[in-house]
Structure 1
Amino acid sequence: MTAAIVGPGGAGGAGAGTERARALETLGIEAGEREERFDRITRLARRLFGVEIAAVTLLDEDTQWVKSESGYSGAEPVPVEDAMCRVTLGEPTARTVVEDTRVDPRFARNRFVVGEPNVRFYAGEALTTASGTRVGTLCLFDSRPRTFTATDVAILHELAAWAETELQRSAEMDRAAEVQRALLPGRGTVDLDGYEVTGSCVPARAVGGDLLDWYRLPPDDGGEADVVLTLGDVMGKGIGAALLMATVRSALRTAGRRAGPAEAVRQAALALEADLEGTGTLVTLCHARLSPQSGVLRWADAGHGLMFLVRADGTVLRPGPGGLPLGVLPDDRWPEERVALGPGDLVVAFSDGLLDLFPTVEAAFAEVASLVTADPAGCVAELERRAREAALPDDVTCLVVRRCR
């Protein structure tokens, strides 16, 4: 038996198949790839209805794929023209209930009805995208005839709506991840003669709440063009944290273009006060401003504390504690620190998710200092690799600035 029970029926012609394939591509769904979020639905459906098999199927131009199943582990794709769920896609009601397949002419001669596993009951509801394209089903199978009540129909409908939401969420999350990536500064986007600026942000989920930003200010009259750098961490993960991260980034960019680090943090905190209070969210961050000609780096720390300086001779220095995170006290103020970077000196800042890559906090600082001294860009690449391979529960972000000469 294949988990994709088959049978005759219609779901439109070749044009409908092409439309389904395009809709799945737009959703960013890998039709045959298992995902726990769909497995939860099929496991629940099987328990609620007491059937032998529950499945989520997806159909493209020529193949029906089993996205999830409960009750059978040998799921295989089948041709669309044989798929029982194809009938459901073609139903005006978007639903098919067959209480006894042997007395239904659409399925009575199906080889899975007349032979193993002798399927006698089928119920399926179409899964429809936001654009109105039916791309799959939530379906139930059993080897015994069954009565399907109006209550059962209502429950199946609710579970199918859940599955549809998950389908749509894939497209939304992919788009959110695309937008968030666009907000990150690209490596090499700040061309500083005599400096190297590099960083990386790896969200724990499709999107995350860490903030990484740098940009060059217009030069003052007759002066130098400073560079503003920010690394922050919004409490929480996922889409909610990502939305707040974008808001924090905007507030800091607005304030940072006209004020020094400490004052910029204060202005941003005031602008964000209502949002942070309303969502019960805290934000830690390190906001800095580098004057390339003099090598002076000024910064304000808002409850972050994950920053250190490595001198050219290998000496590692950690700044003292800064102020409170944003969102703790209204109209708070943050101290501004400064350091003069000499040739070979570098500054490293990172989010607390990076600590999960190491057994202890001390080990994290020691190994990152060793890696970054040898090769800043290589250090960032290595930490990014570890973060992606470890599938950590928190976002991992790091920022490195080195004065080369």
Structure 2
Amino acid sequence: MVMFEQPEEEDGMEEENTFEVTEAIPDVELFEYKTSTSSIHVLSGAWIAYSHVDFSGNQYILEKGFYNNCADWGSQDTRICSVQPILLAPCDGSKMRKEVILYSQPDFQGECHIFDHNQEAVPEKLQTKSCKVSGGSWVFYEDKQYSGNLYVLSDGEYPNLTSMGCSPDCTIRSFKAVPMTFSVPSISLFGLECLEGREITTDTEIVSMVEEGFNNHILSVRVNRGCWVICEHSNYRGRQFLLEPIEITNWPKFSSLETVGSMFPVRQKRQFFRVKNKERGHFMSIQGGVEEVKSGRVVVTPEVEPMSDIWFYQNGFIKNKLSQTMSLQVMGNVEPASKAVLWTETRQPIQTWTAQMSGLITSLTFPGMVLDVKGGKTYDKDHVVIMPESEERPSQQWEIELL
């Protein structure tokens, strides 16, 4: 950008001094430029101008264009002492960006605070009136240390407290990210205490228990898989409860609610990831045949073909980026050390899986069986196999790395 120096009155007839800027300048006077600027021409990029040296004081964001006077860039005087370009932060490519942006006024106005990690205590001076959420779902609490009434928000923009599900006088005092899980959601509701009586099991949201024909007087709850939000009233209104896999034998005592109005599983956007075997230190990948849409051997080796070690989770299937129509399956008789392959999804029975960010990758189709690496000294020692869950086999421990 080019900065035009404000000429002094007695030198008004002289040619004005210009300063072409291509990098961060902590003090413009070091370059023989006065701190009074009449106009600015931003040729490319975006910049921040500061009223004091060393990037301090009032800030003015300058985008591409011409600024005739200080009012154009939002200042009441011409003082600019330091400037710097706005640069893209380097991305390490290994983590999904999770972020919460809180605003002190509705419609994303007022003071803005950006957070990329859990907050046990939001600063007292920050009164949240609107927010933006990215990188998954977050749960907001009315009290510090993740306590009090809560509100679960997924990716999106919330211009006011009502859109967040909050009351007009609500205060947000802590929040945290909902943990990433790879599972087919499932929840069971029971008409009696201790998980007895008439059972309602669902894997999808229920907008209104009454309107969809269910008894809303629930006495016990079991979350089988995934994360669920249970709401006091229909249409996801009223008090909310975020539940990970758990058994609640007395729901009214746990929640202080007489009825359940609605519920929904916390949905997560598709995420690409690599799967590392903790014992081997190598990533799970496929070998051969996928381009011909036949099958692919699933192995854990240091040598991988391009993109063959990139996976994603979809409706219970573990799928590889190289083939959208195939998924991780076990061929033949399902017995200890049966090999895992990439195979067409039309095969029966449908084979689905559940996994955490760190730990076991468990079969939902064959209870008690988990992914493992065959091991030994034979030619197929690197093959991924299915085995009964065993604490004595460290090769059953996996780590998922988001891309």
TM above 0.5, yes or no, is no
Higher strand fraction (1 or 2):
2
TM-score, normalised by the number of residues in structure 1: 0.23
Higher helix fraction (1 or 2):
1
